Amino acid sequence: MTDFDDYAPQPGGLAARAAAAAQRPPYLDGLNPEQRAAVETLDGPVLVLAGAGTGKTRALTTRIAHIMALGKARAWEILAVTFTNKAAREMRERIEMLVGEGAQAMQWLGTFHAVSANILRRHAELVGLKPNFTILDTDDQIRLLKQVLQAENIDDKRWPARALAMRIDSWKNRGLSPGQVSAGEAESFANGKGAQLYALYQERLKILNAVDFGDLLLESLRLFRENADVLADYQQRFKYILVDEYQDTNTAQYLWLRLISQGRRNVCCVGDDDQSVYGWRGAEVENILRFEQDFPGAKIVRLERNYRSSGHILAAASHLIAHNEDRLGKTLFTDGEDGEKPTLTGVWDSQEEARVIGEDIEQLQRKGQSLEEVAILVRASFQMREFEERFVEIGLPYRIIGGARFYERLEIRDALAYLRCVAQPADDLAFERIVNTPKRGLGDATIQLLHAFGRRERIPLMQAARVLVETEEMKPKPRGALKNLIADFDRWRDLIDTKPQHELAEMVLDESGYTEMWRQDKTPEAAGRLENLKELVRAMEEFPDLAAFLEHISLVMDTEESKEQERVSVMTLHAAKGLEFETVYLPGWEEGLFPHQRSLDEQGRAGLEEERRLAYVGLTRAKRRARIFFASNRRIRGLWQPTVPSRFVDNLPPTHVEVVEAPSGAHYGGYAVSRFANLDVYGSDYSTPGWKRAQGARPAPARESRPSSRQPLTIEGEVVARSSSTSRWNAGARVFHMKFGPGTVATVDGNKLTVDFDKAGRKMVLESFLEAG
DNA sequence: CCTCCTACTACGCGG
DNA sequence: TAGTAGGAGG
């Protein structure tokens, strides 16, 4: 009544609202209502359908901050999965900006593969592995498959290991173990041996104490399925679960996620069907469509307000993607200004393309554009090379993301193989790689011997070697060399817990003669390789131990590049998903390259639509400037071929796109003209100006990158030379040896026998090499 | 067993 | 074209 006492603000009045706002945590400021819903709807399943540039990452990171701020869960009780390392890293950085140090405690933030690897190491024994298992990359995988094919006497010309690897991958992506592969599909490789080869491969992996990328998921899935208590533990542990880029989950990931989230059901998935570009590795967009069925009562939040791109860019992208039939369909809008229209430029060939883009960037740079805000997004990584060469020439600082990576270089892989052998004596692939590097006189014959014995006894090569050097199966020279090598490894392995890993690495590389090998090498690359080895040792310092370092490089192959200097980023469209730049260059919009021919051949319309989504992803990375290019000639496998502009060019709305002539007088600038200009005019071979120009002075590309094979992993291992089992033979028995011929057993010591050979005299040999004589 | 040469394939995207 | 795998010869 009175205006003087007991005054309280009226509920809902101005003062109350202002007061509430003051109490609202600052991180919620500036979120639009939909974003706030995505952040504040904490309990129960939530699906956030977020268009490109609608603040999805912001919503996700704020949600995590909110969970922690309300005390709903601690950092380590939150599971947050992404697809790429880049996305995981960025998410951690952004959370750190919101909550500070707390972000470091989020030990369950990472890629599906990294999180799975973590879980798997904790329970390795339950799926028949040791905790220090090795994670093989594609290269190792293929080498191993080659061995399997060889052992099965399958012609690897007709049935390439590569093809088998792809098939096994796709089975794993779908969550299929060898027994679950349908007969029809198993039929399709090596006359029905597909599933059998898959099974053999898995068997070999177990012996090697190794998994491939697909196994990380599949094996942890199996772990959960076969161990209810373990599953229950994780279901309880993770109070909140967040999944980024949900449209990219494959079946195995989907099953994994569904199991792990059934406990508390606080799962929040964020995705955009228009940005589904990983169909080729088994992603199922259906997962996103099925969400409501899988999680009844799920709340759906739609983010459609675009904050990133200016009007014309958004219009162009929306128009383009509207050509797809398979989409949920959503309408992005922006309140921002129209800005610049995306430009379209036809150039003569890929070299001109690189030149024009280089000049354009320099011009923007003069106007104050930061190079950090400029990106070139290509369809295929081989396109990067042209830019690299040109930028080196004109001195434009650039950064290749996801190209030929540091850890894929020959010398780095060799060095890692040494470390893997130290950490993980069962790692045959690593051992095989370096037994004779540098040359030790351990050639094919020796390796074959080790293999034969190892296979027969089902033991790793290193262990086989250990046993074999105690006998006379080998000639003295290789025997001595192998003995030394094993002794070296034993010595290094003893230091694993006491010596800092980078010092150990240096020691290994020196004492093995590996560094010396490159010092002796007179080729021009040798110096660079030695530099890289130094860099590797330096990089190791940052890790707590060898195991941590090896884990890091199996899962996170890219080095975090320095940000000291501003650089233009060059990367694939796939790698660019989730990122944004002021200015984006989109070269190579030509039929066959983009959309990629193989995508069309293999997937038909679905393939085309995925390619179109990729184009959409590319365009929507741009905040202010998007520049599309197509060339009339491109070098494919060393041959210059005339090309035709991409059909996606025709999918762009003319009113929102500006056609720009290439400054250097490319006469086929306008796309209406150039679309067919090149088709028949020049014929297809060596009379084209492009070819002629190509014959002109081309600086010899000085580029170094030798992908080869190999990878890393983990600590400590035991080697048991077995000597106690009894032999099939007793003294006096007649036996036959492949190399030494017939003889009589003199003495027996476990699996080692001394035999008096009729011709070769007395030798100590292994039982497994003997037959009844 | 090593080195040199020839022949073949590959240039689709990632953990 | 380039990088590598496999074969021949020393």
Distance (Å, whole) CA A732 – CA A751: 16
Q: Which nucleotide shows the minimum CA-to-C1' distance to residue A146?
A: C5
Tokens standing for residue A25:
């945590």
Q: Is A275 a catalytic residue?
A: yes
A701 touches strand C (CB under 7 A): yes
CA/C1' separation A155–B10 (Å): 20
Q: What percent of chain A has pLDDT over 90?
A: 54
Amino acid found at A768: S
Identified catalytic residue from A35, A57, A61, A134: A57
Identified catalytic residue from A140, A219, A245, A273: A245
Q: Is A193 a catalytic residue?
A: no
Tell which strand C nucleotides have any atom below 7 Å from a protein Cβ: 1-6
What does the pLDDT average to over A342-357?
A: 95
- Chain-centroid distance of CA A324 in Å reads 28
Summarize pLDDT for A203-244 with one digit per residue, the tens. Answer: 999 988 999 999 999 999 999 999 999 999 999 999 999 999
CA-angle at A656, arms to A650 and A657, nearest 5°: 60
What is the full DSSP assignment across A604-635?
HHHHHHHHHHHHHHHHHTEEEEEEEEEEEEEE
- Is residue A647 a contact partner of residue A591, using CB atoms and an 8 Å limit? yes
Identified catalytic residue from A140, A215, A219, A244: A244
Amino acid found at A744: T
Helix residue ranges per DSSP H, A228-324: 228-237, 251-261, 286-289, 291-294, 311-321
Amino acid found at A87: A
CA-angle at A281, arms to A227 and A317, nearest 5°: 125
- Is residue A654 a contact partner of residue A351, using CB atoms and an 8 Å limit? no
Tokens standing for residue A2:
């009175």
Distance (Å, whole) CA A390 – CA A355: 7
Q: Quick one: which of A545, A624, A565 has its CA closest to A338?
A: A624
Q: Which residue has the higher pLDDT, A424 or A738?
A: A424
- Is residue A79 a contact partner of residue A115, using CB atoms and an 8 Å limit? yes
- Residues 6 or more apart whose CB falls under 8 angstroms from that of A344 comprise A628, A629, A630, A649, A652, A657, A658, A659, A660, A671
What confidence score (pLDDT) does residue A665 get? 47
What confidence score (pLDDT) does residue A403 get? 67
Summarize pLDDT for A77-129 with one digit per residue, the tens. Answer: 999 999 888 889 889 999 999 988 888 899 999 999 999 999 999 999 999 99
Q: Quick one: which of A122, A75, A593 has its CA closest to A383?
A: A593
Consult the annotation and say whether A52 binds a ligand. Answer: yes
What confidence score (pLDDT) does residue A726 get? 67
A707 touches strand C (CB under 7 A): yes
What are φ and ψ of residue A651, in 5° steps? Answer: -85, -5
Helix residue ranges per DSSP H, A181-226: 183-187, 194-207, 213-226
- Chain-centroid distance of CA A234 in Å reads 26
What confidence score (pLDDT) does residue A690 get? 29
Q: Which nucleotide shows the minimum CA-to-C1' distance to residue A555?
A: B15
What confidence score (pLDDT) does residue A14 get? 62
CA/C1' separation A366–B12 (Å): 35
Q: Which single residue has its CA nearest the C1' atom of nucleotide C1? A: A638
Distance (Å, whole) CA A56 – CA A49: 9
What confidence score (pLDDT) does residue A503 get? 95
Q: Which residue has the higher pLDDT, A387 or A638?
A: A387
What confidence score (pLDDT) does residue A558 get? 61
Q: Which nucleotide shows the minimum CA-to-C1' distance to residue A156?
A: C5
Tell which strand B nucleotides have any atom below 7 Å from a protein Cβ: 1-3, 9-15
Consult the annotation and say whether A752 binds a ligand. Answer: no
Residue A2 has pLDDT above 60, yes or no: no
Residue A710 has pLDDT above 70, yes or no: no
What confidence score (pLDDT) does residue A560 get? 57
Distance (Å, whole) CA A444 – CA A439: 12
Consult the annotation and say whether A50 binds a ligand. Answer: yes
- Is residue A398 a contact partner of residue A391, using CB atoms and an 8 Å limit? yes
Summarize pLDDT for A652-707 with one digit per residue, the tens. Answer: 999 999 999 877 544 443 343 333 333 333 333 323 332 222 222 222 222 233 22
Q: Which nucleotide shows the minimum CA-to-C1' distance to residue A446?
A: B1
pLDDT level of residue A7 (50, 70, 90 thresholds):
low
**Number of C-beta neighbours around residue A677 at 10 A:** 19
Tokens 């290509």 belong to: A378
Q: Which single residue has its CA nearest the C1' atom of nucleotide C4? A: A708
pLDDT level of residue A474 (50, 70, 90 thresholds):
confident
Q: What percent of chain A has pLDDT over 70?
A: 88
pLDDT level of residue A9 (50, 70, 90 thresholds):
low
- Is residue A583 a contact partner of residue A376, using CB atoms and an 8 Å limit? no
- Is residue A350 a contact partner of residue A633, using CB atoms and an 8 Å limit? yes
What is the full DSSP assignment across A657-717?
-EE---TTT-TT-SHHHHHHHTTSSS-SSTTSHHHHHHHS--PPP-----B----------
Region of A12 (left: φ > 0; alpha: ψ -120 to 50; beta: rest) is left
pLDDT level of residue A20 (50, 70, 90 thresholds):
low
Pairing of strands A734-737, A374-378: unpaired
Q: Which single residue has its CA nearest the C1' atom of nucleotide B13? A: A574
What does the pLDDT average to over A417-427?
A: 91
CA/C1' separation A329–B12 (Å): 27
Q: Quick one: which of A494, A495, A468, A472 has its CA closest to A483?
A: A468
Summarize pLDDT for A163-198 with one digit per residue, the tens. Answer: 899 899 999 999 999 999 888 887 777 777 888 899
Consult the annotation and say whether A57 binds a ligand. Answer: yes
Q: Which residue has the higher pLDDT, A407 or A485?
A: A485
Return chain A residues 131..160 having CB < 7 Å to nucleic acid strand C. 156
> In angstroms, what CA-CA distances link A515 with A496, A520, A549, A612, A707?
20, 9, 20, 48, 19
Judged by average pLDDT, the poorest of A10-24, A141-155, A378-392, A434-448 is: A10-24
Consult the annotation and say whether A615 binds a ligand. Answer: no
Q: Which nucleotide shows the minimum CA-to-C1' distance to residue A172?
A: B15
CA-angle at A69, arms to A66 and A70, nearest 5°: 85
Q: Which nucleotide shows the minimum CA-to-C1' distance to residue A639?
A: C1
What are φ and ψ of residue A639, in 5° steps? Answer: -105, 135
Q: Is A56 a catalytic residue?
A: yes
Tokens standing for residue A65:
């901050």
Question: For A87-93, which contacts have Cβ atoms below 8 Å and span 24 or more sequence positions?
Answer: A87/A111, A87/A244, A87/A245, A87/A578, A88/A114, A89/A560, A90/A57, A90/A578, A91/A57, A91/A60, A91/A61, A91/A244
Tokens 């790793």 belong to: A460
CA/C1' separation A519–B11 (Å): 34
A184 touches strand C (CB under 7 A): no
Helix residue ranges per DSSP H, A369-500: 384-394, 410-423, 428-434, 444-457, 461-468, 476-494
> In angstroms, what CA-CA distances link A751 with A385, A469, A730?
56, 13, 11
Distance (Å, whole) CA A154 – CA A146: 9
Q: Is A245 a catalytic residue?
A: yes
CA/C1' separation A639–C2 (Å): 12
What confidence score (pLDDT) does residue A683 get? 30
- Residues 6 or more apart whose CB falls under 8 angstroms from that of A568 comprise A361, A371, A374, A375, A376, A391, A396, A397, A398, A399
Q: Quick one: which of A344, A343, A314 has its CA closest to A331?
A: A314
Q: Which residue has the higher pLDDT, A670 or A390?
A: A390
Averaged confidence pLDDT in chain A: 85
Summarize pLDDT for A514-571 with one digit per residue, the tens. Answer: 998 888 877 777 888 888 889 889 989 989 999 889 888 888 766 556 677 899 999 9
Distance (Å, whole) CA A666 – CA A29: 50
> In angstroms, what CA-CA distances link A565 with A372, A395, A568, A720, A736?
9, 13, 10, 52, 69
With residue A326 as reference, give the H or E element that holds it: none
CA/C1' separation A564–C5 (Å): 41
Summarize pLDDT for A293-324 with one digit per residue, the tens. Answer: 889 899 999 999 999 999 999 999 999 999 99
Consult the annotation and say whether A669 binds a ligand. Answer: no
- Is residue A139 a contact partner of residue A430, using CB atoms and an 8 Å limit? no
What confidence score (pLDDT) does residue A759 get? 87
Distance (Å, whole) CA A200 – CA A458: 13
CA/C1' separation A156–C7 (Å): 17
pLDDT level of residue A352 (50, 70, 90 thresholds):
very high
Summarize pLDDT for A495-507 with one digit per residue, the tens. Answer: 999 999 999 999 9
Q: Which nucleotide shows the minimum CA-to-C1' distance to residue A444?
A: B1
Measured between alpha carbons, how far apart are the two ends of chain A, in Å? 116
CA/C1' separation A516–B3 (Å): 20
Distance (Å, whole) CA A363 – CA A387: 16
Summarize pLDDT for A433-458 with one digit per residue, the tens. Answer: 899 988 888 888 888 888 888 888 88
pLDDT level of residue A621 (50, 70, 90 thresholds):
very high
Tokens 């014929």 belong to: A683
